[in-house]
Amino acid sequence: MPTPRYEINKIEEIYQIKIEVPFAVKFVSLYLFEFEGKRILIDAGIDLGNWKKALFSALKELNLSVRDIDYCFISHMHVDHIGLVKTLKKVNPGLKIVMHDITHDIFKWEMDENLFYEYEEEIGKIADMMIQYGISAEQGQKIIKFFLTWPKYLQYQAPDIIVHDGDKVLNDLEIIWTPGHSFGHICVYDAKNRYLFAGDHILSRITPHIGNFVISPVLQEKYKDHNFENILDHYLRSLDKIDKLNPRIIFSAHQEIIHDPHQRIISIKEHHRNRLDEIINIIKNKSLTPFEISKIHFGPDLDEINSYMALSEVLGHLIYLENQGRIKKIKQDGVFYFSA
């Protein structure tokens, strides 16, 4: 298997290590920089094909190795951000892995073979819910298969430092909890330089997927005061938190560096306002299932995975509108319909 292409860019004092993802038309960017005399790596990349070899080659090009890195911050628990965390720790046992409390709880739960039955049960609940939102039973089984695929690309690694919203590491690297794309998602903020390492929270050209979370029963109880369903509300509030920080540069995990963060945040919020209005117009004076709405909104010709992503995205907006009292939901013959 060929080694993925990579490139190294330097933006002020930050090294962007941009590595191609095998079988996908995208790159994942890790960020390396020095802070308070320590070397910091943002995210751990993906454990797929020769991605690790590309990362190690990029570090060598910088006259460094994994052993020279002191901290690795994990933005969230998706396979392209946490995949190599165990490998990095194995190569450098002194490396301090930093994770949000929620990310760690989900990571540990999904990787625990003794609790795998719980994971399957929660996935089954999501599939059953999606059937109530208009998909077929056959499509529900494909969703279960989809969720069961991702843990195969992960190996559990306990963090050295568990963080929460507002915590600071090395005195001045602030943890900003930004749920939305992932419930445990964090950004890391360097207030002195006004750098924000944003993971997938804010991207330069597209908006991150806002969808369903697979959450353990223990975590549901631990964070019972949070509404796990109204994901879009979490995301929009997270955008406001970032905007108040007034970052100067946003370093995202995909696409381009963002040099006008405030304008980008305005654009993303406008995008979601437009999507909310479009969905309301689709169901004005008529009742449709979320799946029917997603096919109208995103088009009917999506493959299985993107069809599910479209449904969960639309569902996130419907739940947000329902919580605002702007639309109504009824259940008929075991299926939910929405109308405006």
Domain parsing of the chain, residue ranges: 6-109+155-272
- What residues have CB less than 8 Å from 330, skipping those under 6 apart? 287, 336, 337, 339
* 24: pLDDT strictly greater than 70: no
Rounded distance between C-alpha atoms, residue 328 and residue 279, angstroms: 13
Length of the chain: 340
pLDDT tens-digit readout, 156-199? 999 999 999 999 999 999 999 999 999 999 999 999 999 999 99
**Which CB contacts under 8 angstroms, 24+ apart, belong to 277-280?**
279/314, 279/317, 279/318, 279/321, 280/321, 280/326, 280/327, 280/340
Residue 50 exposed, middle or buried by CB count within 10 Å (0-12, 13-18, 19+): middle
pLDDT tens-digit readout, 237-281? 999 999 999 999 999 999 999 999 999 999 999 999 999 999 999
Tokens of 269: 């919020």
Mean pLDDT calculated for residue range 24-28: 80
Q: Band of the pLDDT at 28, cuts 50, 70, 90?
A: very high
pTM of the full predicted structure? 0.95
pLDDT tens-digit readout, 299-335? 988 887 788 889 999 999 999 999 999 999 999 999 9
- Options 2.60.260.20, 3.60.15.10, 1.20.1560.10, 3.40.50.10440; CATH for 6-109+155-272 is 3.60.15.10
